[in-house]
Amino acid sequence: DQQVKQNSPSLSVQEGRISILNCDYTNSMFDYFLWYKKYPAEGPTFLISISSIKDKNEDGRFTVFLNKSAKHLSLHIVPSQPGDSAVYFCAAPRVGGSTLGRLYFGRGTQLTVWP
């Protein structure tokens, strides 16, 4: 079952504009969320995270917003740059336990930023 969902497989944005990538989740016990970026032929790299005690986390051009009541989070990239073109994954760790391993990932959104 897909506990983390990214319903938009692709997004195309002009350079300089805002990119908004969306993610929904079904498990209300999730208390931490991450965004990863993946270029072709490379592994995913951590981008930004947010704890459920916050509704916003900002890191430079990247901001993640969390709406717990709607079980929805979004990643905003402002301004978007061509180098941001990549697949973006939303993820949440399994609830409970001390082990690190299991992350639930969305299917990813391919962001294309054109000049």
Q: Which residues bind other proteins (CB under 8 A)?
A: 6, 32, 34, 41-46, 49, 89, 91, 93-94, 97-108
Q: Give min distance, CB of 46 to other proteins, in A.
A: 5
Q: Give min distance, CB of 48 to other proteins, in A.
A: 9
Residue 55's SS3 state is coil
Nearer Cβ to other proteins (84/108) = 108
Strands (E), 1-115: 4-5, 10-14, 19-25, 32-38, 45-51, 56-59, 62-67, 72-77, 86-93, 103-105, 109-114
Nearer Cβ to other proteins (65/105) = 105
Q: Give min distance, CB of 85 to other proteins, in A.
A: 18
Q: What angle do CA 9, 54, 63 make, to 5 degrees?
A: 45
